[in-house]
Amino acid sequence: MIIYIPKDIDVYNTHLKNLTKAYVDKGVEMIVGYETFIYGSILPDVIHFHMVDGLISFMKYDERLFFERLDYFKNRGAKLVYTAHDILTPWKFNEIDYPTFFSRFIDYIDVMIHHGQNSIEIHKNKFPSLQNKTHIVCPHGNYLSDMRNYNENKDTARLLLKLPKKKKIVLVFGQLQFKNTAFANKVFQILRKENKDYFFLMAGVYPLFRYNGLNIVLYKLNNRLLNKFRLRKKLVLGRVTNYETYLLFKASDVVLLPHKSGLTSGIIAMAATLGIPFVYPNIGVFEEQANYCFAEKYERENKNSACNSINKIINSGIQVFDNSKWLVFNNWENHVDKILSIL
């Protein structure tokens, strides 16, 4: 079997690398990358899509060419599979009407992969054409292979990151432009009024910047200079390596997911991989992803509810939870086995 994933592998996000390896370990021949979708003449048995915003951007928002190529593969017998990471991409495009584009794209899909049962009903309600499609639920997968070689404990992680040793550290991590940072800051302000021992750690790509040269200078200015004057929080702005991700999570007492909206979260998988407690809003399939974890749910955009959940975790005294059941359930072998059993 030949499976093609029309997406580039990102060294900062190992989700695709881990998935591809799991397929290869099962004897599947893999093709990965954007170019094959446009120029390739090899006909795969399956095309496994992940968030097509990157692909359509690579194609310079050429919708005509996109659907011509989709027809080319579909008419020659390729099965089309899509993993639902979100209901719609959080990115905004001026070049195309993305909701209309995506609705048309999803009509082509033969099999929808979800990270939780609730995702199926969410998508069926949003896109009527999915009512009669094949839907399967697969675990998100863990990040163990990316972090298994690191063994720094909490104290060492804090020392390396120049974080206070005795504070209660709350981490917000990821693509910060989608993480409702204004809400996160309000939650932290309430926590600090109640308890001066709280310390706020925010790490990831800053909402206003991307990756050009000037922005790299701004990142460095913040990380090296401005953080010297911050006593209650630290901002680590920019893309981070697997090792830096490991240190950030290990240094933290609790991870806050301040999302206003969303379907699934890789942040849950990162925290659970390391057994770090977290709090999450009542949206999407977050609760299903939190199975076998020490985590607390809060009411979306309710500051007091989020604070109560954080305090509950901190007051429990549990710094690391037993994640052995979560790791067994959320492994890439299980993920791929379920997909291949359908295909």
Got the DSSP string for 48-66?
EEE-THHHHHHTTT-HHHH
What pLDDT does 215 receive?
63
The pTM of the full predicted model, rounded to 2 decimals, is 0.88
Whether 81 shows a pLDDT value over 90: the answer reads yes
Q: What is the DSSP string of 208-250?
A: T--SSHHHHHHHHHHHHTGGGG-SSEEEEES---HHHHHHHHH
Which of 229, 230, 174, 243 has the alpha carbon at shortest distance from 202?
174
CB 138 within 8 A of CB 114: yes
Q: Which of helix, strand or coil describes residue 157?
A: helix
User: Residue 78: pLDDT above 80?
Assistant: yes
Bridge partner residues of 5 (DSSP): 32
- The per-residue pLDDT for range 8-35, each reduced to its tens digit, is 887 777 888 899 999 999 999 999 999 9
Instruction: Please write the tens of the pLDDT for every residue from 214-254.
Output: 666 666 666 666 656 566 888 887 788 899 999 999 999 99
In the predicted model, is pLDDT for residue 75 greater than 80?
yes
Cβ atoms 138, 278 nearer than 8 A:
no
**Based on the number of CB atoms within 10 Å of its own CB, is 181 exposed (0-12), middle (13-18) or buried (19 or more)?**
middle
Domains of the chain, first to last = 2-137 (3.40.50.2000), 144-327 (3.40.50.2000)
Give the tens place of pLDDT for each residue, 251-304. Answer: 999 999 999 999 999 999 999 999 999 999 999 999 999 999 999 999 999 999
- CB of 264 within 8 A of CB of 289? yes
pLDDT of amino acid 146: 87
Is it the case that residue 209 has pLDDT exceeding 60?
Answer: no
Give the model confidence (pLDDT) of 305-337 as tens digits.
Answer: 999 999 999 999 999 999 999 999 999 999 999
Residue 191: name the closest of 72, 303, 333 by CA: 303
Measured CA to CA in angstroms, residue 132 lies from 76, 120, 123 at distances of 22, 12, 12
Instruction: Report the sign of the C-alpha dihedral through residues 273, 275, 276, 281, in that order.
Output: positive
Contact 37, 68 (CB under 8 A): no
Please give the pLDDT value at position 86.
87
Rounded to 5°, the CA angle 77-81-86 comes to: 155
User: Can you tell me the distance from the alpha carbon of 264 to that of 281, in angstroms, rounded to the nearest whole number?
Assistant: 11
pLDDT for res 234: 84
CB-CB contact of 30 with 20 (8 Å): yes
The per-residue pLDDT for range 169-195, each reduced to its tens digit, is 999 999 888 889 899 999 999 999 989
Give tens-digit pLDDT for 89-127.
777 778 889 889 999 999 999 999 999 999 999 999 999
Question: H/E element holding 2?
Answer: strand 2-5
Distance CA 130, CA 134 (A): 8
Q: SS3 for 141?
A: coil
